[in-house]
Structure 1
């Protein structure tokens, strides 16, 4: 049975969701290579990744499962591997300049301009290590989607709980879009009308550094959002971001410098400013659509009323059983809940007064129609009671 899960409701202000890869996006290197691998592996970091990738290839294994397996295997007899120790290694992970103040600063800028800014991590790295960073402990992230372990009662990892690779990263964008953040909540597959979407893709920013981010970048771009490639300002190697821009994976690129007044800082603030204007236009658009739909519905209502009136007049003037059957067929095509009380009463009156209707009340089509409209009466009246008696007098039991 589907459990009741906490979901984020649509706000009365626009929400901008900024989603980040972690390694080489917020941090200059892979998180595992900033202390953990060195403490458990006999060779250098590059050899660890080579062995991990070979393990994956030899066993047709997900590369993330391979590195998680090796982390556990290599720790045996060397360190006590627990959730706490992973978080401690995470606390030692270096971050790019300005990351420590970035999340609050951007959130505050959004608030000042009437935009709710939320920060999300979508990473193939380890959730436990990310949770150990100072920015995570400060509550900077609305949600961290990352590979993670299942732990026993001693907090020792015993099985992968979640594995995030470059293709399944995209599912989390849809969760963020709909406000359905729980990874086990199947409500993410539910239909939402565009105006009910909590964070439309046009208000999603994805920041990443490499090919593993391409599915998310492409998805965000294709739905009108903002994909940003970052590069290390120390190496100033723009090869990857140039390729991603050329291949239309990203809209912008900037150095991974998160300090105030940096290029990235100005870019995100410009996106926030654009969000304010966009959402105002969208609000006007939906109001126009609402008015148009209302007018369309009024027009349909008028057409239905005209059609019903014409058929009622025709039924009242029916001079043959054949004509009555034809009119009843057309009357039956009108949704029964569209009949108003006065219209139903008129139909009942006709059935009692026009012999071309009264004498065939127990014909299947006529009886079915009248039984349906009688059900729509707020309360029985003399006409409906008389018609029911006519049904019963022709052999129908109560």
Structure 2
């Protein structure tokens, strides 16, 4: 059985924005032109638009006067390795793959980011992904000069659907013929830009994991307030754990539990999760259908498990 792990990049697998090493390298020039007080202040120049389009447009503009000689190769070879990864990476990937195999599961990793491709492919986590979807610049060998592609947050669902269908977004398939069944998704992210993706995956039976900065109560509270809720129906996520990929971390223990549930439910539960989800949302009006779903739900520990929220601070 195949299970798809879908990750965001910035503040999901990293402890900083992927562009930060570039902003630090050129900070004196940025400070001189814009009066920035810190490298992170660069994002104030990109506000008010979709993150992907905003930062790439501003970045391209500044490449002509500030980021001299910045090529895709330099981003890959030099800056990609400077991005601070989250604790436990990249060792997490091989270890969690072994846990998957224990449950008869083949884990397939995918990454969707509003950043830029060479910064991600230049990082130590890149070899563990089957696909990496991100923005791209064109360059002439002496510097970037044009935006080639942008990943906007509202299109992340489209990329997920395409991968789950095996590459053809518009092909009609029975769910059993999908490359990755929606029930077999585990989606990792950290914030507002992932909401559409979270909602889509969760409604179709996937499990959504939001992460926050370990040990920072403010980060945890923000994650809960923006993504969580007191009940399953109104929460964008199933679980919230600290961004710690080390062995025996609360995140690892939770993901192992999710893998076990997916493996067992594949053999023991054939209920269409969208029916259960719509029943939970009170979207089904037919009384008989509601009774049938309720009867199944009350006797199925796997469906019950999917509706239990697990938010913890550490």
How far, CA to CA, are the matches of 1:71 and 1:164 in structure 2?
A: 15
2:240 aligned residue (253, 275, 287): 253
Q: Which residue number in structure 2 is paired with residue 275 of structure 1? A: 262
* Contact in 2 for aligned 1:83/1:155 (Cα 8 Å): no
Q: Which structure: larger Rg?
A: 1
- 1:100 aligns with one of 90, 102, 113: 90
What is residue 110 of structure 2 aligned with on the other side? Answer: 120
Tell me the SS of whatever aligns to 1:158. Answer: strand
Counterpart CA distance in 1 for 2:55 and 2:270 is: 47
Q: CA deviation at 1:77?
A: 5.2
Partner of 1:135 in structure 2?
Answer: 125
Q: Secondary structure at the match of 1:147?
A: strand
- The separation in 1 between residues aligned to 2:86 and 2:262, in whole angstroms, is 26
Gaps of at least 5 residues in structure 1 are: 1-13, 181-186, 286-398
Cα offset for 1:149?
1.5
Q: 1:192 Cα deviation (Å)?
A: 0.3
Residues in 1 aligned to 2:271 and 2:196: alpha-carbon distance in whole angstroms: 32
SS in 2 for 1:89: helix
The structure richer in helix per residue is 1
Q: Does the 8 Å CA contact 2:69/2:142 hold for their aligned counterparts? A: no
Matches of 1:211 and 1:49 in 2, distance apart?
Answer: 16
**2:155 is paired with a residue of what secondary structure?**
coil
Residue 149, structure 1, aligned to residue 143, structure 2: no
Q: Is the 8 A contact 1:18 1:120 kept in 2?
A: yes
Structure 2 spans left out of the alignment, 5+ residues: 273-314
Partner of 2:22: 36
Cα offset for 1:190?
0.8
Q: Matched residue pairs, number?
A: 256
Give the number of the structure with larger relative contact order, counting CA–CA contacts within 8 Å between residues 6 or more apart: 2
How well do the aligned residues superpose, as a CA RMSD in angstroms? 2.0
Q: Secondary structure at the match of 1:117?
A: strand
In the other structure, the counterpart of 1:75 is 63
For the structure 1 residues 283 and 227, does the alpha-carbon distance in structure 2 shift closer, same or farther, using more than 3 Å as the test?
Answer: closer
| TM superposition shift of 1:62 | 4.2
Structure 1: which 4+ aligned runs deviate by more than 3 Å? Answer: 75-79, 281-285
What's the offset of the Cα at 1:143? 0.6
Task: Report the TM-score, using the length of structure 1 for normalisation.
Answer: 0.61
Contact 1:209 1:240 in 2 (8 A): no
Given the alignment of the two structures, is residue 214 of structure 1 paired with residue 203 of structure 2, yes or no? no
**How much has 1:240 moved relative to structure 2?**
2.6
In the TM superposition, what are the counterparts of 1:263-342 in structure 2 within 5 Å? 263-281=250-268
Q: What does the per-residue CA deviation read over 1:54-87, in whole Å, with 9 as the maximum and x for residues that have no partner?
A: xxx4xxx644223123323323355311111111
Q: Which residue of structure 2 lines up, in the alignment, with residue 390 of structure 1?
A: none
Q: Distance in 1 between matches of 2:91 and 2:51?
A: 33
- The structural deviation recorded for 1:252 is 0.5
Q: Could you say what secondary structure the match of 1:189 adopts? A: coil
Query: Counterpart of 2:53?
Result: 65
1:232 aligns with 2:213: yes
Aligned residue for 1:167, secondary structure, equals: helix
